[in-house]
Structure 1
């Protein structure tokens, strides 16, 4: 049947916009499409110039028709742009999919679309009934035990955590009230990305990176600029942390744990310090009044994978007070997290 003139002039975008319900209903489809292009490095292929789908498919060994449909879906979400000739390019929002981008989120995409998290998300219904993380039921062990037993997943997890904090550590360093001199102890500091930023920005500070031995062994501190100003120490922050620091950091640690374990960590730090020692807790702080916050999605990840949670200012203040710290102020940042400044009493 020939196309009529009426059809030719019809507004093909006159349909109702997608509803929040349908966006959520298809959420797993978007995530799977995102994972597929990340696995095949499509963003790297279009980093500099738009490229026809046929070229992209040939280079990656993919079916051109299927690839176009996947990219078209992601273009509708603002990550790619299709031009009039059918070539695709990255948008500004999609640049972080590149593996070589300064703020690359490639590893984070692969982690949070990995079967570890997909299967845990599918198990949220059981979490609603039991209150227990669905990850444990699906994988037969807690998340961190699973990572310790699966080196490839552990490497992906560490790479994703590094990518998530790229750029963020610089923002946090600007926002945090650091002293001009003294020793900063980064408790549960991972590979030391934040501590590296802090020591670089404050040349008279020294630092101690404290985390599990296998984590600090892969640290990021060995640069010429920082030579002689840091050391690493492996251990368990539930039992001990380095003593004698002037300032202690807890970045994205407390949200991994339920209140009772948070208190164990905080009590361990309190035993290691003298009154007046400052503690900076860096975590998302929920509004507590029903206002939407981007960390609500992260809170759901905590629900399904760990027994941790995102907390309100009042909940943080209660935890700190119980462990012997007084909360002085909360400093918002450009990042997802805020900085809670407390002092040992």
Structure 2
């Protein structure tokens, strides 16, 4: 496998490398699942000694680690001992900004299996998810708590990498109240509360998600309420800002308009809706949103959107696009106000 992004890769080799991409995903998935990186914190070890401790097959583990070492995740020395690399550090459970849970989520069967049937999706425009798993994406997660936990922990892990930088990209200091709609465990809202001492927050989500909320342990119980509910029905009333972070991209246009309209009806006079999703730019340049968009295509009814797409959604919900602010992450802050 040549360096995936190296400009010297022959075009034919690029096609072959891309074709093999799922092998790397599978290898990464297996070591994240097994927690291999945690076992290397004390120093280099052989695959055999790791395999013995983990209760797995030594030669199989060696072969997977050898592949990952070729792409700078782990490295093998002349004595056959594997050690952590800067990239492998992120697979440790306790590393700052750990991505172990994120990798487990991204390579979960809920994404993996439908992606393997992409040609059907392109033929029909429909995800095979319901056929493979027996029910739509979020219903399935709701009914399989183990898969649901992997998903929500993974989302929190992925979000922790970006939350601080995104919150700092918007001036929340002039606001008194912010509702994080479908805000999960509260990672983003915590960053807003840190940056803007006068904000009172509401973390709004399903009860089983709020059970994992981190508001109290972050010390913000006094300034932030947890509220259970369903954003398809209604959202908490009277706030100045409604945050929809990685929410709209999960749903088709019609459903998005319903969610946005609920925010429009609930918000205080002069309020705003902040959509935190990727905004796909024109042109051929690589963009995280383009990858995410096809992941959505495979497993969910949603998609990533362009500026024009957001303009249209807002108009149907009685809102208008006021500005789009870039952030250091792949997400942008798309602000809408009353039309």
TM-score range, shorter chain: over 0.9
User: Do the aligned partners of 1:38 and 1:109 also contact (CA within 8 Å) in 2?
Assistant: yes
Gaps of 5+ in 2: 1-8
* Match in the other structure for 2:138: 144
User: Do the aligned partners of 1:102 and 1:166 also contact (CA within 8 Å) in 2?
Assistant: no
1:307 pairs, out of 301, 309, 319, with 301
Alpha-carbon distance in structure 2 between the residues aligned to 1:344 and 1:239: 20
1:337 pairs, out of 327, 331, 337, with 331
Q: Which moved more, 1:208-217 or 1:45-54?
A: 45-54
* Match in the other structure for 2:117: 123
Q: Deviation at 1:275?
A: 4.2
Q: Deviation at 1:116?
A: 2.3
1:161 pairs, out of 149, 155, 158, with 155
* Other structure's SS at 2:90 match: helix
* Match in the other structure for 1:209: 203
Deviations 1:134-174 (A, max 9, x none): 21121121000101111111111111111111131111111
Q: 1:26 to 1:238 in 2, by over 3 A?
A: same
Q: Deviation at 1:39?
A: 2.1
* Match in the other structure for 2:185: 191
User: Do the aligned partners of 2:97 and 2:160 also contact (CA within 8 Å) in 1?
Assistant: yes
Alpha-carbon distance in structure 1 between the residues aligned to 2:21 and 2:306: 27
1:253 pairs, out of 234, 247, 262, with 247
* Match in the other structure for 2:313: 319
Alpha-carbon distance in structure 1 between the residues aligned to 2:34 and 2:27: 11
User: Do the aligned partners of 2:190 and 2:218 also contact (CA within 8 Å) in 1?
Assistant: no
Q: Which runs of 4+ in 1 moved over 4 A?
A: 15-18
* Other structure's SS at 1:225 match: coil
Deviations 1:103-146 (A, max 9, x none): 11111212222222221112222111211112112112100010
Say yes or no: does 1:176 pair with 2:134: no
TM-score, normalised to structure 2's length? 0.92
Q: Deviation at 1:40?
A: 1.8
Gaps of 5+ in 1: 1-14
Count of aligned positions: 331
Q: Deviation at 1:271?
A: 0.9
Q: Select the structure of larger CA radius of gyration.
A: 1
* Match in the other structure for 1:74: 68
User: Do the aligned partners of 1:123 and 1:134 also contact (CA within 8 Å) in 2?
Assistant: yes
User: Do the aligned partners of 2:240 and 2:268 also contact (CA within 8 Å) in 1?
Assistant: no
Deviations 1:219-261 (A, max 9, x none): 1111373131111111111121111101111101110011111
Alpha-carbon distance in structure 1 between the residues aligned to 2:79 and 2:129: 45
User: Do the aligned partners of 1:195 and 1:207 also contact (CA within 8 Å) in 2?
Assistant: yes
* Match in the other structure for 1:54: 48
Q: 1:337 to 1:113 in 2, by over 3 A?
A: same
Say yes or no: does 1:100 pair with 2:107: no
Q: Which moved more, 1:271-280 or 1:186-195?
A: 271-280
* Match in the other structure for 2:4: none
TM-score, normalised to structure 1's length? 0.91
